[in-house]
């Protein structure tokens, strides 16, 4: 399964890593030769473990957990294993088809919030934000974008390149310049790698800073995320976010002392977020936990 996963990520750079993970797991499910639900569950857990050793991001974890939940829900309805497996595969395909449309749904919901002449601040590289801005351009709005450079991997430069291709005026700014630029900005729009139960988000390091600055200057802070990124975590502070999300998989394997490594993600609390745009609709942060409860309980 890790080979299929890696192959998927390589072939289609536009796909979210959670979707690639779910696709790989679905392929694994099709090949599985077990006869019981329990056997299936344990082999899937092992598969998810291997996947997270390749890419230990929040997205893979949420995708994996969603898939497990999907298996449990389906197995509750049908007791006959082979029939159950058929239904699972069929529903899995439908699910994948639905989530491929989710980015477009989000773009349709979000682009009315971008006014003509708006100045938007965004952080690092997010495919969902890119799609939203594309939709805004298609509806003939004129706006300009500031992107943070987003060290250490300079993801912001990648975002700026993609935006320039859409003919949007872009300025790349230093991560440290967020406080300076905030007074010029009209709204902040970021993606998310994971949305936690409290309604907060886990995203590339630097997002929390931007959220705090935006709150201090009364600028709206919007988050765009697909619903499969909802994860069953409730961090109360930065320390509560598990180490396996903060650092890359290879770092976790090789490093001696994790406190000397730089984390890749941070947690932004829900009090700093104005609205979340998901394919389930426009949600206030308090509505997120409701959605998660509906699924998991």
Partner 1 sequence: MPGAADRGSELSEQIEAFVARLRGGGERPRSEDTARQTLSLLRKIIAHGRWSRAGELMDLIRTEGQRMTAAQPSETTVGNMVRRVLKVIREEYGRLHGRSEESDQQESLHKLLTSGGLSEDFSTPYPPLRANVIEAINELLIELEGTTDNIAMQALEHIHSNEVIMTIGYSRTVEAFLKEAARKRKFQVIVAECAPFCQGHEMAVRLSKENIETTVMSDAAIFAVMSRVNKVIIGTKTILANGALIAVSGTHTLALAAKHHSTPLIVCAPMFKLSPQFPNEEDSFHKFVSPQEVLPFTEGEILAKINVHCPVFDYVPPELITLFISNIGGNAPSYIYRLMSELYHPDDYEL
Residues ≥6 apart with Cβ < 8 Å to 179: 213
Distance CA 125, CA 148 (A): 9
The answer to the question of residue 90 lying near partner 1 (CB under 8 A) is yes
Distance CA 287, CA 282 (A): 9
The answer to the question of residue 62 lying near partner 1 (CB under 8 A) is no
Distance CA 77, CA 79 (A): 7
* 154/289 with CB nearer partner 1: 289
Q: Which of 143, 230, 245, 247 binds partner 1 (CB under 8 A)?
A: 230
Answer whether 149's CB lies under 8 Å from 173's CB.
yes
Site string for partner 1, 255-284 (x = CB under 8 A): --------------------x---xxxxxx
Interacting residues with partner 1 between 115 and 144 (CB under 8 A): 115-116
Q: Taking contact as CB under 8 A, which single stretch among the options 49-57, 155-163, 165-173, 289-297 is the one that binds partner 1?
A: 289-297
The C-alpha angle 42, 47, 50, rounded to 5 degrees, equals 130
Q: How many residues contact partner 1, by CB under 8 A?
A: 33
CA distances for 207 relative to 23, 88, 176, angstroms: 29, 37, 12
Block residue for tokens 């979000």: 110
The answer to the question of residue 94 lying near partner 1 (CB under 8 A) is yes
The encoded tokens of residue 228 equal 């499969």
The answer to the question of residue 73 lying near partner 1 (CB under 8 A) is yes
* 12/290 with CB nearer partner 1: 290
Q: What's phi and psi for 122, nearest 5 deg?
A: -135, 170
* 80/94 with CB nearer partner 1: 94
* 6/215 with CB nearer partner 1: 215
The answer to the question of residue 101 lying near partner 1 (CB under 8 A) is no
Q: Taking contact as CB under 8 A, which single stretch among the options 34-42, 69-77, 146-154, 169-177 is the one that binds partner 1?
A: 69-77
The answer to the question of residue 286 lying near partner 1 (CB under 8 A) is yes
* 69/253 with CB nearer partner 1: 69
Helix extents (H) in 34-126: 37-54, 58-77, 81-100, 102-110
Q: Cβ of residue 234: shortest distance to partner 1, in angstroms?
A: 17
How would you classify the pairing of strands 265-268 and 201-204? antiparallel
The answer to the question of residue 113 lying near partner 1 (CB under 8 A) is yes
Q: Cβ of residue 210: shortest distance to partner 1, in angstroms?
A: 19
The answer to the question of residue 295 lying near partner 1 (CB under 8 A) is yes
The encoded tokens of residue 291 equal 């959605």
The answer to the question of residue 68 lying near partner 1 (CB under 8 A) is no
Residues ≥6 apart with Cβ < 8 Å to 166: 133, 134, 137
Distance CA 265, CA 179 (A): 19
Answer whether 240's CB lies under 8 Å from 181's CB.
no
Give me the residues that bind partner 1 (CB under 8 A), please: 66, 69-70, 73-74, 77, 90-91, 94-95, 98-99, 112-113, 115-116, 227-228, 230, 275, 279-284, 286-287, 290-292, 294-295
């Amino acid at each position: 399964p890790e080979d299929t996963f890696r192959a998927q990520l390589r072939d289609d750079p536009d796909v979210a890593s959670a979707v690639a993970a779910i696709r790989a797991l679905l392929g694994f499910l099709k090949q599985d030769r077990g006869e019981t639900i329990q056997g299936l569950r344990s082999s899937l857990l092992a598969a998810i473990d291997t996947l997270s050793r390749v890419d230990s991001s929040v997205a893979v974890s949420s995708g994996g957990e969603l898939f497990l939940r999907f298996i449990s829900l389906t197995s509750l309805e049908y007791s006959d294993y082979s029939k159950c497996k058929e239904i699972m595969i069929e529903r899995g395909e439908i699910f994948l088809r639905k989530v491929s449309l989710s980015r477009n749904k989000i773009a349709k919901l979000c682009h009315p919030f971008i006014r003509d002449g708006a100045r938007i601040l965004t952080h690092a590289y997010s495919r969902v934000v890119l799609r939203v801005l594309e939709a805004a351009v298609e509806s003939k709005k004129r706006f300009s974008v500031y992107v943070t450079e987003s060290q250490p991997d300079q993801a912001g430069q990648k975002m700026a390149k993609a935006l320039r291709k859409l003919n949007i005026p872009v300025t790349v700014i230093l991560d440290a310049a967020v406080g300076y630029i905030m007074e010029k900005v009209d709204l902040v729009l970021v993606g998310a790698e994971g949305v936690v139960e409290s309604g907060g988000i886990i995203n590339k390091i630097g997002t929390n800073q931007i959220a705090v600055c935006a709150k201090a200057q009364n600028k709206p802070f919007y988050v765009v995320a697909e619903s499969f990124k909802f994860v069953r975590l409730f961090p109360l502070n930065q320390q509560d976010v598990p180490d396996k999300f903060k650092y890359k998989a290879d770092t976790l394997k090789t490093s001696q002392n994790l406190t000397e490594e730089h984390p890749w993600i941070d947690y932004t609390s829900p009090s700093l977020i104005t609205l979340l745009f998901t394919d389930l609709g426009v949600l206030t942060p308090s509505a997120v936990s409701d959605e998660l409860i509906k699924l998991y309980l």
